A and B are shown apart, each in its own frame.
Chain A
């Protein structure tokens, strides 16, 4: 799905958040010179195509007590990584599970999974579960804990299309 001008305007108008007013879609429409109905219809299409994952609350995990946030990274046999990645993505407490390229020699890891817990001990426990699941297909791993959020704004499209 290619973006047209209306899509781009709609993204620009909502990527920072919806106005917290009784009729938020009407308010967005007013800014864009269209009806609230048109805004809702287009947002519904975007949800359908997956351009919008969901419309709702984006929590700050830290403020909710999930202060231990570990990016676990694993060096997994290329022949098995896709099959194992699917299973790891199903484990509770795991998010953002992806296969990514290695950057040898400094970075041997090809499977990334974010682990979330209230304490580092909780995260380490999850990592043990992952390690058991990966078994001998895993040649090494590391957990990179975040120590500060430096920025968290989400997507911000540039207004112009030039690169």
Chain B
């Protein structure tokens, strides 16, 4: 699990990194740490896989692009092969296995609706499996803020 210092750092950086010349030094100053401490901790968190990424999260919808959730029912014996086929497309932003008849759920991120439709067509052609698309019709809430520091209000 996270050390208390790592948890503090992640809670802070679940918000915005300052847009300053030396942002890590500025975050370090808030904590009474050194710039090197912050950089070393973030590097270690990335390396160990606690963080999947550190940087800007783009909402490509704001520039005419889109993210689309899609699902497939993949026969168990082909699951690994189909995963490789689907993941090979750069349009696939993430992909999860779920326990349901529709057992593969992925999100396509593209700059235009046409690119998204084309990627879905290519995946259907390559795998021979239908892709069900679930475009967002309305957004109510997106990003979760996980309670990382223990003893926080969310106990249990």
Residues of A within 8 A of B (CB): 1-3, 7, 11, 14-18, 20-26, 36, 40, 43-44, 46-47, 49-61, 63-66, 69, 71, 82, 85-86, 88-90, 92-101, 103, 106-107, 112, 114, 116, 122, 142, 144-158, 161, 163
- Distance A123 CA – B23 CA, assembled complex (angstroms): 36
Kindly identify which residue among B22, B93, B140 contacts A88, using a CB–CB cutoff of 8 Å.
Answer: B140
The answer to whether the Cβ of B127 comes within 8 Å of any Cβ in the partner chain is no
How many A-B contacts at CB < 8 Å in the complex?
A: 255
Q: Known contacts A64-B2, A112-B134, A145-B98: does B21 contact A50 (CB below 8 Å)?
A: no
Size of the B side of the interface (Cβ < 8 Å), in residues, is: 81
Across the interface, do B134 and A101 meet the contact criterion of CB distance under 8 Å?
Answer: yes
Determine the chain B residues whose CB is within 8 A of the CB of A88 once the complex forms: 140-141
Kindly identify which residue among A60, A98, A158 contacts B137, using a CB–CB cutoff of 8 Å.
Answer: A98
Residues of B within 8 A of A (CB): 1-2, 10, 13-17, 19-25, 35, 39, 42-43, 45-46, 48-60, 62-64, 67, 69, 83, 86-87, 90-102, 104-106, 109-112, 114-115, 118, 132, 134-144, 146, 148, 154, 156
Q: Known contacts A22-B22, A82-B138, A144-B105: does B54 contact A17 (CB below 8 Å)?
A: yes
